[in-house]
Chains A and B, each alone.
Chain A
Amino acid sequence: MIALAAKSTTAPYQVPAGFVLTSTLFLMGAVLLLALHPDGFSSYRHPVTLAFTHLLLLGFGTGILIGSMHQLVPVILEVGLVRAWWGYAVLGLWAVGVPIQVFGFLQYQPVLIAMGGGLVSVALIWFAVHMFLVFRSTRKWSVVATSLVWVTLHLLTTPAVGMLQALSMQFGNYDPVRLQTHAVLGLVGVFLISIAGVGHKLVGMFTLSHGVKPRVLGLNLWVLNIAILSDLIWPASTLPLLLLAALLMALDAKNLIAKRVKKQLDVGVRHYVLGMGFLVASILLALGGLWTMALTLFAGFLLLVITGMLYKILPFLVWLHRYADQVGKTQVPTLKDMFNEKTADAAMVIFALGIVATVFHPAGLWLIAAGLVPYLSVLTEVMYVRRKP
């Protein structure tokens, strides 16, 4: 049976739902900000670029990740959260901190950057403490759980280096190399590791895959962490290692899909497969030194994979909240009944075209902005429309 969580073991519905809602607002803000100010493409340290990056990664990506982990970690570890209400505190601190930090970047006010970053850091520390308590209480361990431990650790290391950078802007000892470390910890430590781990679990669940051992994922966790270390010791090996990691992620997805019981690939898996293509292309472009193009494709990879997973996570969350108690009493909708998959496919195609267009010209961002319309339509349908079963 496919499931993401039982009501009794996870955070209250409002916590992951609040993260999804707020993350979506941050995504809209990120896309519109860069579309309106394409001069951000001129430098990675441009105020608009820094604001965009933090809206996209710390706002959208991290928000969905933390919200989902409140739901997924109890499922994967088969234990309940230790203090479910802590999720509200983490949500509040993060939701307030991100806009303050982004405003600080746009206005170049280091105090606001540090203040917003500080609030988010407290949120992430709180979240990490909670997760480590959950990790400690489980008797069920797995490679996916190990990946989540690494993600939680890097949810601490990434803002720690970022905060050091923000404070050095105010008090001196600014080091541009630290910015690269901050980026690698976030992009690889948080996002690639979480997508490799959670992706293994979710693609397996969504395809009803059976009999795939997590060996490729286990190997990939080594490769990804060595890639992070190599950036500090021998940066020349980082990109080849990341290419290997991306290929291992694609191989893992291929193995899961090959052993699937459900024949048709659903919308979340289609997003995932397309996203893998963008990831591999991104690293190849980075190896060729085409950094702006590479990072654009990497952002596209994150956008596709995260939105695709959300089309499964959110309906399940809402289904549990709204219908779980009704099963057996009355007819309830299935997850597929809760939104129109063609609308989600439309969002995927428009996003993908927009990302490719943006690789060549910043005006492509308006196409990505257009993709937000069907994306928001799906989320709204899932959350607010009570379809007749």
Chain B
Amino acid sequence: MSAENLKELAGMLLQNVLDPELGISIVDLGLVYGVDIEESTLRVTMTLTTPGCPLHDTLTDAVRRTLERMPGIEEVQVDLVWQPAWTPERITPEGKRQLGWR
């Protein structure tokens, strides 16, 4: 599977990682900044809506568990970053629809 296909698959799988409060995927909330692949290592760069958000252990573990089953991936690294800061503008149209803004 090509790197591009793997990135696409990763994006699809991350749709299953939901914010427990909102019930919306971290992708639609705009929390995932990027997915990169270097050989068999997949690196996810993501943020949270609040700096130092204390549930980062739970969500970063969830991202790792979700992606480590991908074919050809031996290691998943999750980098939690605070710059650029998350803003509501990052929410996808689907995320906005689920948040009640039609």
Q: Which A residues fall within an 8 A CB radius of B?
A: 1-9, 74-75, 78, 140, 205-206, 208, 210, 261-264, 316, 319-320, 323-325, 327-329, 331-332, 334-337
Across the interface, A2 reaches (CB within 8 A) one of B21, B57, B63, B91, namely: B21
Q: How far is the CA of A99 from the CA of B92 in the complex (A)?
A: 53
Inter-chain contact B99/A327, CB cutoff 8 Å: no
CB-CB under 8 A from B29, the residues of chain A are: 1
A328-B21 CB under 8 A given contacts A1-B50, A3-B53: no
Contact check, A329 vs B65: say whether CB atoms are below 8 A apart: yes
- Evaluate whether A262 and B50 lie within 8 angstroms (CB atoms) in the complex, with A2-B22, A328-B63, A328-B66 already known: no
Inter-chain contacts of A320 with B (CB < 8 A): 55, 58
- Choose from A2, A263, A328, A337 the contact partner of B61 (Cβ within 8 Å): A328
In this complex, what residue of A is CB-closest to B49? A1
Distance of A5 Cα from B48 Cα, bound (Å): 14
Q: Which residues of B contact A78 (CB under 8 A)?
A: 52, 54
A6 to chain B: which residues have CB within 8 Å? 54-58
A and B contact pairs by CB, cutoff 8 A, 27 listed: A1-B29, A1-B49, A1-B55, A2-B20, A2-B21, A3-B50, A3-B55, A3-B58, A78-B52, A78-B54, A140-B52, A205-B21, A208-B49, A208-B99, A210-B49, A210-B87, A210-B88, A261-B99, A262-B100, A323-B20, A324-B58, A327-B18, A327-B62, A328-B63, A328-B64, A329-B65, A331-B16
How far apart sit A179 and B57, CA to CA, in the bound complex (Å)? 47
Q: Taking CB as reference atom, which chain B residue is nearest A337?
A: B23
User: Is the Cβ of A261 less than 8 Å from the Cβ of B91?
Assistant: yes
Contact for B49 among A2, A264, A323, CB less than 8 A: A2
Quick one: closest A residue to B31, CB to CB?
Answer: A1
Assuming the A-B contacts A1-B26, A1-B50, are A262 and B99 also in contact, with contact meaning beta carbons closer than 8 angstroms in the complex? yes
CA separation between A210 and B20, bound complex, in Å?
19
- Chain A residues with CB under 8 A of B57: 6-8
Could you say which of B16, B19, B66 has the most chain A C-beta atoms within 10 Å of its C-beta?
Answer: B19
